[in-house]
Structure 1
Amino acid sequence: MANTGVGFITRCALIPQDSFSTFTVLNNCPYTVWAAAYPGGGRRLDTNQTWLLKLPSPTTGRIWGRTNCKFDSTGHGICETGDCGGKLECQFSGSPPNTLVEFSLNQGKNLDIFGISLVDGFNIPVELKPKSKGCNRVVGCTADINGECPEALKADGGCNNPCQVFKTEKYCCFSVTERCRPTDYSKFFKDRCPDAYTYPTDDATSTFTCPSTGATGYHVLFCPTN
């Protein structure tokens, strides 16, 4: 798989839309997070504030948090991490480093596919919890990645994935993804966040499913351990 930052969601075929799924995004961090979703837009969330996001099912997308943002009254500005073209309402994916919640809703065999990706690096601890009956698999990356980030990967407000820093075949797997292997840097992320997708072919231990019931919902929690 190419290192697009999209991870497993690029391999899911969509089927006709006929329902919606709700994502409840809560900021539990002791600082403001500018939540973002593609598709979905964006919202400023102060501590303990919630954003209710309703997305068509099936759809494929991602949710992430942005930090240290400044926006004017027209919704234009800049963020230190996760910036999406200087807009409050994101119309495309954010800039690394940013911790990603990725999902493909209502896919083959009526399954939702989801996971946490660090292929774009890390900026905020996050947890994804299904709130539908019959599915209780919680996934997350809650470690202090920023505080333990290797020197070569350090970035303002976050921790880069090695592909963004070195831009080499070893870390990015540009052309021969079937031979893509873990590296010392991907193992750094995996040791601290076992659920997370940490390099381009890290699917086996990082992709999770829930039955898609037509009314499936999910909680996304920033800073879950605070």
Structure 2
Amino acid sequence: MTVSDGVFGDSVRPSGVERVVDVRLSTSHGDFLAIGYLDRESGDEQMVLVYGDAEKEGALVRVHSECLTGDVFGSKHCECGDQLSAALHAIVTEGRGILVYLQGHEGRGIGLLGKLRAMKLQAEGLDTVEANLALGFPADARDYRVAAEILHELGVESVRLLSNNPLKREALLRHGIKITEQVPLLIPPREENMSYLWTKRERLDHYLPHLDSVAD
């Protein structure tokens, strides 16, 4: 299965994003259409990977927050890198879908240095929410406006959202994205990230039922 030519309907481009470049990208998961966007409001450069005919209703969509430590360095502290790989695999297996990779979301929106400082506090006994709050940040500072505007620009009519996070779903709905289904993205936990995952479930209401089968 190959990507389409990258022309998505006749929808009007939202004023907040500018589509800058389309290029074919071959990856270990498959061949995607990589689309680069400029967020005019923040100045952030954003990237989307499209596989197959994703213009139709019900495309499988992953909105993935950047995580340098997990996505690039394979940190065991979180599940981000594993989720990124699993999402791309799921999209290719299904035959069509979109991955929106969001810059500016490091550490749930507090930046790389903020995240590293929060990780240091976690090593001293705080959970991820407590660490963010102790540094004067919100528990989750992410904004999904640009993701919604990109999906609108692509002409996507509705999505099946690949996520465990109810706040992400609510944010996309507020920005006019129709969600027909929320598809869980469950990654087997590791000893190193069990506390992190329990905090996401108990304090941030993430859908992580598979933790029930893991012994304390």
Scaled by the length of structure 2, the TM-score of the pair is 0.28
More helix per residue:
2
Scaled by the length of structure 1, the TM-score of the pair is 0.27
More strand per residue:
1
**Greater relative CO, 1 or 2 (CA 8 Å, sep 6+):** 1
